[in-house]
Amino acid sequence: MNPPSDFKDRLSMIDSSGNRKFIIPAEVRGYFQKRKKIIHGILLLIFLLLPWIRLNGEQIILLDITKRQFHFFGLHLQSHDAPLIFFVLFSMTMALVLVTALFGRVWCGWACPQTVFIESVYRKIEIWVEGNYLARRKMREQPATLKTTFKVILKWILFFLVSFIFAHSFLAYWTGGVELLQMMGRSPQDNQFYFWLVMGMTAIILFNFGWFREQFCLIVCPYGRVQSVLLDSHSVTVMYDEKRGEPRKGKGVGGDCVSCQRCVQVCPTGIDIRNGVQMECIGCTACIDACDEIMEKIKKPKGLIRYKALTEKPIRWFRPRILAYSVALVFSLSGLVFMLSHVNGIRAELLRAHDNPYTVLTRDSQSIVQNHFILRLENHESQNRRFQISLNDQKRLNLILPENPITIESLEHKDIPLFIEVDQKEMTFDGIPVEVDIQILDSSKPVMKKNIQVIGPVVPAS
């Protein structure tokens, strides 16, 4: 059973029978649109260019899942650096929460990929091929002709091409740009997995940005749903100045709103901002510029729709929730900085091996106590490194290694068996404290020192 036609409590993109209402927003120009164009252009350039920029022969951002190595601007992370991801994600979440509490959905309107790609690529192509919003609305309402069919086909071909480029750019972050080009030069048969992956990504991008559009923000994205709990009366967001605008034309006299509906016409989610802050508002600012256009024409001050807070009192920037979010963000960023400062280029661990804690050997009728350790050396730097291992007490102790110096190639690690031997006569009940020095040859880096205890039975008293 269909809900009554005057049923209003539904999403703006859904009609009274529950079907999609295809929104074709009117084009708008103005102060905010000009700035958004620049920001979107920069973000798109960053997305497209980053996989092709190399630093010291390395791609500056590479998320190589197959090798479990992640490169960020010269920093090399491996799978065991996963706790860092927690701090990265938590910091990003807290930053978004804080920005939302201060400025509403400024992220959605200015920097979210969903907005950037739809507004600055897909809708631009649509306007270029099919004409302005009036022409496109007419096209949807009227039966298809040869000309309109041709336009629709051309639009989808162009949508496919840009989706194909975006899918490849995205994949280049994971495979490496140069490697991706090499794969593209070969037959898809040779790289079937990546071929189908990129085709699948192209299909998803095409569906999402080409057809699904802002429905994603309303139906799929969880962020839009939680924003209402993050906002309060002091949050600055895109709002209609009811005090100034009402009573609007047609509802009385006196207000500045002339009921021209221009703010509704330009809204990509099809809402009327004059009804107050709504979940469907993605903060795109189109209604601000649209209303300013009208205000200019009727010679009234701009800003009937503007960034403002709900309260009429002066905005309190330091509110309890802002302080709580800021503290959480500072903690998380501190954790991140601490973790990053410990992602050394070189790491060394010395652990006792899992076999016997010690072995007593007889060599030349002498009792020798031997302890077995595992030395793990990790080289996260972009050049190979040589390590020289030595003991602080070379007179009493004997160090045995399969090789010394040890070469570890760039972004490699090795687990090396390390034995320390001592004449049993030297053994004490508390063991012998030993300092193992790990020196990186051809480098000014300080010597790494590892302290361990050589244990074993003392010579029984005769």
Spatial neighbors of 13 by CB under 8 A, at least 6 apart, are 20, 21, 23, 214, 215, 218, 269, 270, 280
Pick between residue 258 and residue 375 the one whose CB is nearest to ligand SF4: 258
For the stretch 80-88, contacts whose Cβ atoms lie closer than 8 Å and that sit 24 or more positions apart, written own/partner, are 81/339, 81/343, 83/339, 84/336, 84/339, 84/340, 84/343, 87/332, 87/333, 87/335, 87/336, 87/339, 88/336
Pick between residue 126 and residue 381 the one whose CB is nearest to ligand SF4: 126
Structural contact between residues 209 and 118, judged by C-beta atoms closer than 8 angstroms: yes
**What span, in angstroms and rounded, lies between the C-alpha atoms of 227 and 105?**
8
Does the bond joining 301 to the residue before it have cis omega, within 30 degrees of 0?
Answer: no
Of 217, 20, 213, whose CA–CA distance to 117 is shortest? 213
Residues 330-369 close enough to bind ligand SF4 by CB under 6 A: none
- Of the listed pieces 257-265, 313-321, 371-379, 423-431, which binds ligand SF4 according to CB under 6 A? 257-265
440-454 exposure pattern, b = at least 16 Cβ within 10 A, e = fewer: beeeeeeebebebeb
Query: Should residue 267 be labelled a site residue for ligand SF4 when binding is judged by CB under 6 A?
Result: yes
Q: How far is the CB of 255 from ligand SF4 (least distance, A)?
A: 9
Q: How far is the CB of 104 from ligand SF4 (least distance, A)?
A: 9
Query: Should residue 114 be labelled a site residue for ligand SF4 when binding is judged by CB under 6 A?
Result: no
Query: Should residue 416 be labelled a site residue for ligand SF4 when binding is judged by CB under 6 A?
Result: no
Query: Should residue 281 be labelled a site residue for ligand SF4 when binding is judged by CB under 6 A?
Result: yes
Pick between residue 109 and residue 176 the one whose CB is nearest to ligand SF4: 109
Pick between residue 267 and residue 452 the one whose CB is nearest to ligand SF4: 267
Pick between residue 136 and residue 262 the one whose CB is nearest to ligand SF4: 262
**What span, in angstroms and rounded, lies between the C-alpha atoms of 227 and 280?**
11
Distances (CA, A) of 100 to 188, 219, 226, 417, 453: 44, 19, 10, 54, 54
- Name the strand (E) or helix (H) holding 181: helix 177-185
Query: Should residue 101 be labelled a site residue for ligand SF4 when binding is judged by CB under 6 A?
Result: no
Q: How far is the CB of 214 from ligand SF4 (least distance, A)?
A: 8
Q: According to CB under 6 A, which one of 123, 262, 306, 380 is a site residue for ligand SF4?
A: 262
The tokens of 104 are what? 């509403």
- Of the listed pieces 136-144, 151-159, 170-178, 258-266, which binds ligand SF4 according to CB under 6 A? 258-266
Q: How far is the CB of 105 from ligand SF4 (least distance, A)?
A: 8
Q: What is the size of the binding site for ligand SF4 (CB under 6 A)?
A: 29
- Of the listed pieces 13-21, 127-135, 266-274, 368-376, which binds ligand SF4 according to CB under 6 A? 266-274
Count other C-beta atoms under 10 Å from residue 168's C-beta. Answer: 19
Q: How far is the CB of 205 from ligand SF4 (least distance, A)?
A: 22
Q: How far is the CB of 251 from ligand SF4 (least distance, A)?
A: 11
**What span, in angstroms and rounded, lies between the C-alpha atoms of 6 and 369?**
90
Query: Should residue 290 be labelled a site residue for ligand SF4 when binding is judged by CB under 6 A?
Result: yes
Binding mask 211-250 for ligand SF4 (x = CB under 6 A): ---------------------------x-x----x-----
Pick between residue 51 and residue 283 the one whose CB is nearest to ligand SF4: 283
Q: How far is the CB of 11 from ligand SF4 (least distance, A)?
A: 13
Query: Should residue 260 be labelled a site residue for ligand SF4 when binding is judged by CB under 6 A?
Result: yes
Structural contact between residues 448 and 437, judged by C-beta atoms closer than 8 angstroms: yes
**What span, in angstroms and rounded, lies between the C-alpha atoms of 91 and 99?**
12
Q: Which residues bind ligand SF4 (CB under 6 A)?
A: 238, 240, 245, 257-263, 266-269, 271, 273-274, 281-287, 290-291, 294, 304-305
